[in-house]
């Protein structure tokens, strides 16, 4: 990210949880140049969203939810008088169990 000077990137299917092992991964994503906001998937081991953004930006998470069928973040990002609202929505593919019932 630093080589191409990206402002931000969103990563889905992080498979990260809240725990010592996964906190190391989040720490590795957070450098002097970048910060991150993480939404782990609560109901299953897969899923999860991470927003990695330049540390010169200010990010305020308004809402972060892990719903039954999708995950989303509502984030206000600002820098030097400019601002934008990001809605990050990720709908994982149905599991094999769900495919049995959804046709």
Residue 1, domain member (yes or no) = no
Q: What's the confidence (pLDDT) of residue 18?
A: 66
Q: Give me the percent of the chain exceeding a pLDDT of 70.
A: 76
Residue 91, domain member (yes or no) = yes
Domain extent at residue 76:
8-101
pLDDT digits (tens, 9 = 90+) for 16-37: 766 656 666 777 777 788 888 8
CA distance 78 to 38: 18
Q: What is the mean pLDDT of residues 54-67?
A: 84
Residue 85, domain member (yes or no) = yes
Predicted structure pTM score? 0.73
Residue 77, domain member (yes or no) = yes
Q: What's the confidence (pLDDT) of residue 93?
A: 77
Residue 3, domain member (yes or no) = no
102 pLDDT higher than 60: no
Q: What's the confidence (pLDDT) of residue 20?
A: 57
Residue 86, domain member (yes or no) = yes
DSSP annotation string for 38-53: EE--SSSSS--EEEEE
Q: What's the confidence (pLDDT) of residue 82?
A: 92
DSSP annotation string for 11-68: EE-----SSHHHHHHHHHH--SSEEEEEE--SSSSS--EEEEEETTSEEEEEEEEE-S
Residue 2, domain member (yes or no) = no
Q: What's the confidence (pLDDT) of residue 96?
A: 67
CB atoms within 10 A of CB 65: 11
Tally of domains in the chain: 1
DSSP letter assigned to residue 93: P
Residue 38, domain member (yes or no) = yes
């Amino acid at each position: 990210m630093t080589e191409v000077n990206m402002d931000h990137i969103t990563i889905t299917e992080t498979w990260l949880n809240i725990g010592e092992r996964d906190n190391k991964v989040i720490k590795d994503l957070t450098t002097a140049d970048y910060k991150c906001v993480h939404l782990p998937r609560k109901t299953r081991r897969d899923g999860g969203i991470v927003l990695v953004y330049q540390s010169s930006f200010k990010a305020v998470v308004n809402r972060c939810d892990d719903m039954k069928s999708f995950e989303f973040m509502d984030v206000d990002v600002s820098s030097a008088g400019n601002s934008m609202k990001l809605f990050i929505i990720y709908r994982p593919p149905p599991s094999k169990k769900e495919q049995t019932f959804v046709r």
